[in-house]
A and B are shown apart, each in its own frame.
Chain A
């Protein structure tokens, strides 16, 4: 019996609110395959994460003066200069609610040591890393988002460290169901997010299901279910239908929604296999 195959490329995504510095540095919760599809590889103090295929983005949840390194001058989403409203009390190192900063200054980071931990220094130069120019002093109202943007070795979300991000194809005859999960977080562009887990027969032949976790625009669960149904009944047997893919150059590919439009109708921003 023939069956369509569905294909998933990986894109790691980790969204963690409420990280504040202790002794001058803020340690982000360890990224794992299970929680984000990210095993951020060995990362020296002097490396900008965007050179390793992922970005670390800070979203301000409250207003604090003199909290952001002076290296950061523009909003990552809007591209606008920070705080140029002419108010003499507003400077580029003051963070305001909704400011989005791509933390690209290498000196802001401490070594990940191959363990998936990203540590960000504050901008007071009191910790091991970070400085007035490079750090950011976060509060528990802020959010840090770690997002993979190319398929490569460095984010280590393959089957082991130093293996290129993995990819998976499953026969649709092994699809067991789609399970909406509590997520309730917000992307750096302000989009509300949900999580849906797609279950397949375990590819080790025993134990728990194989699970593909999708992080996507809130409210898209019904469309994801319809998309899976459309793929299951598409009668395409001579290739695997791409549900989501991220290539080496950072280009993303989509099945689309129920109409299989090829566009990102479901708002997929994370796709990873959480049960390996």
Chain B
């Protein structure tokens, strides 16, 4: 089993605080969808409450254009690729890492919301 670890890009005040750092197995992912014109969400079953979710919100350019529309569609493919990737040599893959300036194409921000 592979796991997803994420921290909110803007807030890392306390490691045990809500909406900051989460970890969950990739089998907990429930869906990926468009949440706003500039945001795509990854919904996963919450580790603290199985009747709730953790939402990773990935920011991107507006989808209100043909280019933005197709870029967001491509982003979903890139997310799926990372979630499903078997990387035995390195042991991890990155969806978004602001500190090291590594991310999937077109992602600009990452937020964490523990509902």
Contacts from B to A (Cβ < 8 Å): 1, 26-27, 29-37, 43, 45-46, 49-53, 63-66, 68-70, 72-73, 76-77, 79-81, 84-86, 115
Contacts and interface: CB of A to CB of B under 8 A. Distances in A.
A206 B52 contact: yes
A173 B69 contact: no
B69 A203 contact: no
Contacts of A184: none
A113 interface: no
B26 to A, nearest CB: 8
Interface string A151-170: 11100001100011011111
B25 to A, nearest CB: 9
Contact of B52 (A152, A164, A205, A210): A205
A140 B76 CA distance: 44
A164 B30 contact: no
A196 to B, nearest CB: 19
Contacts of A163: 34, 36-37
A245 B72 CA distance: 13
B45 A205 contact: yes
Contacts of A153: 37, 64
B80 A203 contact: no
B80 A205 contact: no
A238 B27 contact: no
Q: What is the predominant secondary structure among interface residues of chain A facing chain B?
A: loop
Given A159-B34, A166-B34, A169-B33, 5 more contacts: A158-B36, A171-B31, A200-B31, A204-B52, A249-B66
Contacts of B26: 1
B30 A203 contact: yes
A166 B35 CA distance: 8
Interface in A138-188: 151-153, 158-159, 163-164, 166-171, 173-174
A18 B55 CA distance: 43
A208 to B, nearest CB: 13
A174 B30 contact: yes
A97 B107 CA distance: 53
